[in-house]
């Protein structure tokens, strides 16, 4: 039983992706006493996929999906919009090739699923099979790139080396020495995609927003009771798609690390500005050195800069305005290093988002105790992973089986335990600072 006060999500109000959407429909909040066959907490990629799959597998069941915020307001609506097929950088180092092939298969199943839903429901979210560049600025980045090429060769995955001149014709800057292009990545507008996914949920899913669950306990009949401010949901089967907030319900405590990263975007460039720097639409570049800068050009001509990591023990709060201002200035420096011609083009939004990593880079997936299932800890690449792990969590909860379910069980595990504070905070902050310092030429 968990009755203590819990940290709730409070994301900042300056997410460009969310601001670019039309105002959402009126909110439906949790009120009164409700009974559900299945309840899902968290309406990000994981929770949305879980609710959809539950509904497909159990068309006569009542499924309630509940989120503390509006759909699209959490990390799933504020990321950089890369839906990545390749295993996460750390997972690429895994010694077992079969492990990596399973991860690839799972991520690709997620992409196929999203592609199908975007087409079927005509979700207007800049969905695009653009592939992605991985860019190196100096010797450090180039060393990472060479290592990445070796790993891709071992994996038998296609890639293409792109030199400075060829890259500049697409991205409009000669800042990078070289890049590697991999074709399997898709790009999208994340807030638009998750809102579209929520709007197209099957009829037997009820979505309740702005309804933080503040307590979780089991009643005398063994059902879970999810307590909100103005109502409660009783259910025999609970699925958690709550990422780092899973700890707040008493699970995986001291095993997840809350990390924030940040993005800024410009106003839409004019056609004259696009022409003057010779830049194309709709591409994305991630840094060869993971502590570097991600850059994206959207279909509506905005440039996005994402960098900076912060360990945020108080993850229910956004960072202060002054910290956000400091981060925005760092984004400005990164923008002008690449596009000095855009000195007069302002950023219109700067935002952050929180996600969970684990010290052993292991994702959790499975049953936490009778009737409680969770997928948590995607190490920051959760668009594909959240989608497939949420889908398969639903399959596990209803007792069905599939090859993908077997695969996800074999590639996930228990995130390792963190050292106690203050050693944890000190260690993580030192590591992030060292990575930022070592990678400063790649920023
Ligand atoms: C700036 C940035 C850039 C990123 N770029 C990428 C990228 O390009 N590609 C990629 O794959 N990943 C990226 N990520 C990571 C990605 O956004 C996350 O991995 C992913 O969104 C996790 O999805 P999720 O559904 O597991 O969790 P979340 O999206 O975090 O969803 C959890 C939900 O739970 C809700 N919740 C929590 N507690 C409660 C409660 N008590 N009651 C009710 N609801 C609750 C929250 O409001 C939230 O909506 C990025 C992240 C950031 C911040």
DSSP string for 86-154: SPPHHHHT-S-HHHHHHHHHHHHHHHHHHHHHHHHTT--S--B---EEEEE-SHHHHHHHHHHHHHHHH
Residue 212 CB–ligand 1 contact under 6 Å: yes
Output the residue whose Cα is nearest ligand 1's atom 20. Answer: 382
Output the residue whose Cα is nearest ligand 1's atom 51. Answer: 79
| Res 381 pLDDT > 80 | yes
pLDDT score, position 4: 56
CB–CB of 180/162 below 8 Å? yes
| Res 1 pLDDT > 70 | no
What mean pLDDT comes out for the span 343-352?
A: 97
What mean pLDDT comes out for the span 23-45?
A: 97
Say how many Å lie between the CA of residue 343 and the centre of ligand 1: 32
Nearest partner of 50 among 373, 368, 393, judged by Cα: 393
Give the least confident one: 70-79, 107-116, 340-349, 413-422: 413-422
Task: Note the pTM of the prediction, 2 decimals.
Answer: 0.96
User: What ranges in 245-309 are assigned the alpha helix state H?
Assistant: 271-277
Say how many Å lie between the CA of residue 63 and the centre of ligand 1: 21
pLDDT band at residue 90 using 50, 70 and 90 as cut-offs: confident
Domains of the chain: 122-182+257-358 (3.30.9.10)
Residue 353 CB–ligand 1 contact under 6 Å: yes
pLDDT in tens, 187-197: 999 999 999 99
Torsion of CA 400, 404, 41, 73, to 10 degrees: -150
Determine the Cα–Cα distance for residues 308 and 285; give it in Å rounded to an integer.
Answer: 16
| Res 89 pLDDT > 90 | no
Say how many Å lie between the CA of residue 113 and the centre of ligand 1: 19
Residues 6+ apart with CB under 8 A from 151: 92, 93
What is the helix (H) or strand (E) element at residue 225, kind and residue range?
strand 224-227
Say how many Å lie between the CA of residue 80 and the centre of ligand 1: 12
Helices 403-411 and 382-398: crossing angle in degrees, nearest 10, is: 120
| Res 396 pLDDT > 80 | yes
pLDDT band at residue 286 using 50, 70 and 90 as cut-offs: very high
pLDDT score, position 208: 98
What mean pLDDT comes out for the span 382-404?
A: 97
For a mutational test of ligand 1's pocket, the pick from 9, 27, 132, 189, i.e. the residue with the most ligand atoms closer than 8 A to its C-beta, is 9
């Amino acid at each position: 039983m968990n009755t203590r006060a819990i940290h709730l999500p409070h994301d900042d109000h300056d997410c460009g992706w969310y601001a670019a959407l039309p105002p959402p429909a009126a909110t439906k909040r949790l009120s009164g006493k409700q009974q559900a066959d299945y309840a899902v907490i968290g309406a990000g990629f994981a929770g949305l996929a879980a609710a959809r799959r539950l509904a497909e597998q159990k068309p006569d069941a009542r499924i309630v999906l509940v989120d503390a915020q509006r759909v699209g307001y959490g990390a799933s609506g504020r990321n950089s919009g890369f839906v990545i097929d390749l295993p996460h950088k750390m997972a690429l180092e895994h010694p077992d090739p079969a492990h990596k092939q399973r991860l690839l298969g799972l991520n690709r199943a997620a992409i196929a699923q999203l592609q199908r839903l975007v087409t079927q429901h005509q979700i207007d979210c800049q969905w695009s099979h653009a592939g992605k560049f991985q860019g190196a600025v100096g010797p450090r980045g180039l060393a990472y790139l060479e290592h990445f090429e070796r790993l891709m060769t071992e994996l038998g995955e296609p890639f293409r080396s792109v030199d400075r001149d060829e890259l500049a014709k697409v991205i409009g800057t000669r800042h990078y020495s070289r890049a590697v292009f991999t074709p399997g990545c898709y790009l999208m507008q994340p807030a638009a995609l998750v809102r579209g996914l929520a709007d197209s949920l099957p009829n037997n899913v009820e979505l309740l927003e702005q309804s933080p669950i503040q307590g979780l306990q089991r009643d005398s009949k063994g059902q879970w009771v999810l307590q909100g401010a103005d109502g409660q949901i009783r259910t025999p089967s609970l699925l958690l798609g709550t990422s780092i907030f899973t700890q707040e319900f008493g699970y995986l405590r001291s095993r997840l690390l809350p990390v924030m990263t940040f993005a800024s975007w410009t106003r839409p460039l004019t056609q004259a500005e696009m022409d003057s720097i010779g830049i194309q639409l709709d591409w994305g570049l991630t840094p060869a050195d993971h502590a570097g800068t991600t850059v994206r050009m959207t279909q509506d001509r905005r440039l996005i800069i994402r960098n900076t990591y912060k360990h945020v023990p108080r993850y229910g709060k956004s960072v202060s305005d002054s910290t956000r201002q400091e981060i925005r200035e760092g984004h400005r420096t990164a923008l002008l290093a690449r596009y000095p011609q855009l000195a007069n083009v302002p950023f219109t939004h700067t935002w952050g988002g929180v996600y969970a990593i684990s010290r052993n880079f292991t994702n959790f997936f499975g049953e936490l105790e009778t009737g409680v299932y969770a997928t948590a800890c995607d190490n920051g690449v959760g668009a594909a992973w959240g989608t497939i792990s949420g889908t398969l969590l639903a399959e596990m909860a209803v007792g069905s089986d599939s090859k993908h379910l077997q695969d996800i069980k074999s590639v996930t595990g228990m995130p390792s335990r963190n050292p106690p504070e203050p050693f944890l905070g000190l260690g993580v902050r030192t590591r992030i600072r060292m990575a930022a310092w070592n990678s400063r030429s790649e920023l």
